[in-house]
Chain A
Amino acid sequence: MIYFDRVSKQYNSDTIALDDITFSVEPKEFVSIVGHSGAGKTTLLKMLLAEERPTGGTVYFGSHDIHALRRNQINKVRRRIGTIFQDFRLLSHLTAYENIAFAMEVAGRTDEEIASDVPHVLELVDLGHKMYNFPHQLSGGEKQRVAIARAIVNQPDIVIADEPTGNLDPVNTYDVVQILKKINDLGTIVLLTTHNKGVVDTIKGRVITMDSGKIIRDDPHGHYIL
């Protein structure tokens, strides 16, 4: 499903963000990517979202070389990827409902589908009662749950979660991890980057450990070891 083929990213002669990375992710996998700050975890996810271009190698999404795609094709690929970030990245002038509806609108879903799916997905993340709240009226955990709802509403092939628990307390962290596990149980690939040892050990999935832009360990049932 996802294949990184000898991917490198060098910003200048001194800064190498990714160094000859090769790995693949199969359907239904839950992959945790761990490593110190600056190890290259976020850059790796940005490659998959076509936010950054590699300086070497190829990133495949299915059979497509992501960076060879045209702008409108990249948009289509992004609609098949749900994204969750540490800083939530919600649209501040839209309510929780509208944030999720926006993701459905850009995917060309009808008003009827939106009216039926958005409340349903908000109930899934236990925020049905806050669907008309704006982001500034929500707590950190609630914002992250809205972001998760937005990420999954179009039933994507992959959910990318970049440090999703970084700004959350232990209770909300637990909730988010459980939701991600549930998403994975339903057959969606989850790619998670995290610093949190507890999160990785709870998931008990595949763990890729990165250091200085390289993969130093790829363990199918690994633990957080750094």
Chain B
Amino acid sequence: MLWLATKRVIRSGVLTFWRNSFVSLASLLVMFITLFAIGSIIFTNALLTSTLNQIKDKVDINVYFLTSAQEEEMLTIKQTIERLPEVAAVEYVSREQALAEFKTRHADDSLTLQALEELDDNPFGAVLNVRAKEPSQYAGVAAFLKGNDVLTESGAPIIDRVNYEQNKVAIDTLSKIIDSGRQLGAIITIVLVFLSVVISFNTIRLAIYVSREEIGIMRLVGASTTYIRGPFVVTGILYGIIAGILTIALFYPLVLWLGPRTSDFFAGLNLTTYYIDNFVEIVLVIIGSGVAIGSVSSYLAVRKYLKI
């Protein structure tokens, strides 16, 4: 009996979708625009996140060791820092590497290189490049480095300086930019999704308003709430699935065209690659949103006319 009723509800929903072609087309179009907006938000957020992460990755603080510091002690400190929860990565640059990098950077500056040759010893200390998970966490990492926890076993300091104070202004500014970027992205996402959903909801409500007399007739014939509401929900789900498929199909040529351009402008994120790598998630989000909007809108819109 349940299967028979379900079968009839689905058949009736498909029939309503097919036969009320004008209303279905209008609802599909609005749903398509809604899902396209949601899809665009997904891609925009990916670009924003990628750009912010790139900016974030460029920020670090450097721990300069005294030239007298022993490599073993420095590596012990590196391990200690790596264990901090707020630290994402620590790179050790030995004295020799620091010297080689300096020489490479100043390859065209013969005077500087000559001056360097005249020194008896390597003047560069080893360096730890410390990258925190979030820019706002650098203050904590710097405070730790200045504390007693990083002293050697003998209690002697081996850190010459930490350049956090010099970079503080830049780090704080970047932190603010990243936080503002995220907040703005979230606000725009919420507002756009809300507007899209409201527009879609109202279109479906209007489509059901057209059928309000028919709902009354169904009631008077003795149809149960499920039997009346079910086909409308099925129709709403169909709007979501079809509009979702159309949206995903349209995004393909669009990201194919945008891919190379975004990788040039947005810190290396290629939208085509992103679309292909995250295809299943994108399909689930877009079609899932369509199905949710369609079914919930229909469910709520019919309720008003079921009071007879």
Contacts and interface: CB of A to CB of B under 8 A. Distances in A.
Contact of A72 (B5, B8, B218, B224): B224
Interface in A40-79: 49, 51, 71-72, 75-79
A161 interface: no
Contact of A76 (B19, B220, B222): B222
B10 to A, nearest CB: 13
A-B interface, 3 closest residue pairs, ranked by CB to CB distance from nearest? A79-B222, A78-B222, A106-B223
Nearest to B213: A89
Interface in A67-123: 71-72, 75-79, 81, 83, 89-94, 102-103, 105-108, 110-111
A67 to B, nearest CB: 13
A150 interface: yes
Contacts of A94: 15
Contacts of A72: 224
Interface of A: 49, 51, 71-72, 75-79, 81, 83, 89-94, 102-103, 105-108, 110-111, 150
Nearest to B9: A105
B15 A93 contact: yes
Contacts of A107: 222
B20 interface: yes
B224 to A, nearest CB: 5
B308 A106 contact: no
Interface in B119-156: none
A110 B4 CA distance: 8
Interface in B185-231: 213-214, 216-225, 227
B308 A103 contact: no
Given A105-B8, A108-B1, A89 B220 contact: yes
Contacts of A105: 8, 227
B273 to A, nearest CB: 46
B16 interface: yes
Contacts of A150: 221
A94 B213 CA distance: 14
A110 B217 CA distance: 21
A49 B220 contact: yes
Interface residues of B, number: 22
A91 B217 contact: yes
Given A75-B224, A93-B16, A106 B1 contact: no
Contacts of A92: 214
B238 to A, nearest CB: 15
Given A92-B214, A93-B19, 12 more contacts: A71-B225, A78-B219, A79-B222, A83-B221, A90-B217, A93-B15, A93-B16, A93-B214, A102-B221, A106-B223, A106-B227, A111-B4
A71 B225 CA distance: 9
A89 B308 CA distance: 15
B66 to A, nearest CB: 84
A51 B220 contact: yes
A186 B253 CA distance: 68
Contacts of A79: 221-222
Contacts of B15: 93-94
A86 B224 CA distance: 24
21 contacts: A51-B220, A75-B222, A75-B224, A78-B219, A78-B221, A79-B222, A83-B220, A89-B217, A90-B217, A91-B214, A93-B19, A93-B20, A102-B218, A103-B222, A106-B222, A106-B223, A107-B222, A108-B1, A108-B5, A110-B4, A111-B4
Nearest to B19: A93
Nearest to A50: B308
Contacts of A51: 220, 308
Contacts of B218: 91, 102, 106
Contacts of A106: 218, 221-224, 227
Contacts of A108: 1, 5
Contacts of A49: 220
Nearest to B308: A51
Residue among B214, B217, B219, B224 with the highest chain A CB neighbour number at 10 A:
B217
A77 to B, nearest CB: 8
A94 B225 CA distance: 19
Contacts of B1: 108
B166 to A, nearest CB: 74
Nearest to B214: A91
Nearest to A78: B222
Nearest to A49: B220
Contacts of B308: 51
Contacts of B214: 91-93
Interface in B14-54: 15-16, 19-20
A102 B216 CA distance: 14
Contacts of B220: 49, 51, 78, 83, 89
Nearest to B21: A93
A196 B97 CA distance: 108
